[in-house]
Amino acid sequence: MSKRLIHLSRRQSRTAWFYVFITPWLLGLVFLTIVPVAIGFLTSFTNYDGLNLPTLKFVGLRNYIRAFTADKDAIFAFGQTLRWAALNLPAWMTLSFILALILNQDVKGRGFFRTAFYLPSVMPAVALVWVWRIILDRNVGLLNAFISLFRPNTAIPWLTTYALPGLTMIAVWTGLGWGMVIFLAALQGIPDELVEAARIDGAGNLQIFRFVTIPLMTPVIFFVLVNGLVSSFQQYVLPQLLTAGAQISGVPPRSVYLALTHVNLQFFAYQRFGYGTALLWLLFLAIVLITIVVFRTQRFWVYTETEE
């Protein structure tokens, strides 16, 4: 009997200590995540502007309907975000994969090059963008100077009219390191036995790449694709910094007028907190729907060892 009591006492003690240790996390989850999300969701159904608590009222789905009917800038911003994702994501993934393939070879100094290509991913965004502003400047930029060698007097407005391709250059360059590391880890995880077996069967390098490397890389490609999609829809800092000198009243050029840019204007320029929150929920819903579509397609092209 005493042994049973001692056993129960120890178990209760472990249970009590378990709850003591997870309490800070639970409090953070409730008060820093669940409560703010719930308040934000309720705010999207109101006319809240930050100061009208005495006249705060429920407006139903008016904020959501407005995004599709009365606010043409919202539709434009969402469309521009889709164009940005379609331009940035394939270029970034392709170059990251090619870079990983190159640095996976047994070449001299590959450790140095791996570090060099990864450095932009950990450097401050402000410093990187201001360096790129010097490169992309219309009149004295290094890129236009290089193009002028082949096409004299070139003055491409990379920071205004063509800010979207300019933004893509920066995003791809800064993200190459992260993508390279993920793909490189996947390449190094491919069993040598499969490669050797393919060579014994007479497969060449191209066949090994197509029928061994690519299928085994598809789960990682899928992971990078989903993360890249989510990041593309959440882009805000780079266009703001890149076009700082060309902005009118704090608004970036239309070429880089993305979804979060429009949301930021609704919050801080027009004090439309209820409407801005509704736009954020619509953006969240768009990300979820696109992610679901991508997940639905994985059974057609993602290889897993558990497949029957």
Q: What is the pLDDT of residues 248-283, one digit of tens each?
A: 666 788 888 999 999 999 998 889 999 999 999 999
pLDDT value at position 306? 57
Beta bridge partners of 46: 58
pLDDT value at position 4? 57
Q: Which residues contact 303 (CB under 8 A, 6 or more apart)?
A: 215, 216, 218, 219
Beta bridge partners of 251: 248
Query: Which residue shows structure tokens 């995003």?
Result: 171
- At residue 169, what is the residue type? M
**What are 289's two structure tokens?**
């729907």
Phi and psi (nearest 5°) for 39? -65, -40
**Nearest CA to 254 among 167, 164, 138, 155?**
164
Tens of pLDDT, residue by residue over 63-79, are 999 999 989 999 999 99
- At residue 70, what is the residue type? A
**Thinking of the domain 68-301, which architecture would CATH place it in?**
Orthogonal Bundle (1.10)
Residues 95, 178 contacting (CB under 8 angstroms): no
Which stretches of the chain score pLDDT less than 50?
1, 5, 308
Q: What is the pTM of this model?
A: 0.86
pLDDT value at position 129? 87
Helix (H, G, I), strand (E, B) or coil at 248: strand
| Burial per residue of 128-152, b for 16 or more beta-carbon CB atoms within 10 angstroms, e otherwise | bbeebbebbbbeebebbeeeeeeee
Q: Which residues contact 241 (CB under 8 A, 6 or more apart)?
A: 125, 126, 129, 130
pLDDT value at position 251? 79
Residues 46, 198 contacting (CB under 8 angstroms): no
Helix (H, G, I), strand (E, B) or coil at 71: coil
**Nearest CA to 47 among 36, 37, 58?**
58
pLDDT value at position 258? 93
Question: Domain spans of the chain?
Answer: 2-43, 68-301
pLDDT value at position 100? 93
The helix or strand, by DSSP H or E, that contains position 285, with its residue range, turns out to be helix 273-301
Q: Which residues contact 68 (CB under 8 A, 6 or more apart)?
A: 74, 75
**What are 68's two structure tokens?**
């599709």
Q: Please give, one letter per residue, the 3-state secondary structure of 212-239.
A: HHHHHHHHHHHHHHHHHHHHHHCCCHHH
Alpha-carbon distance 81 to 75, whole Å?
Answer: 10
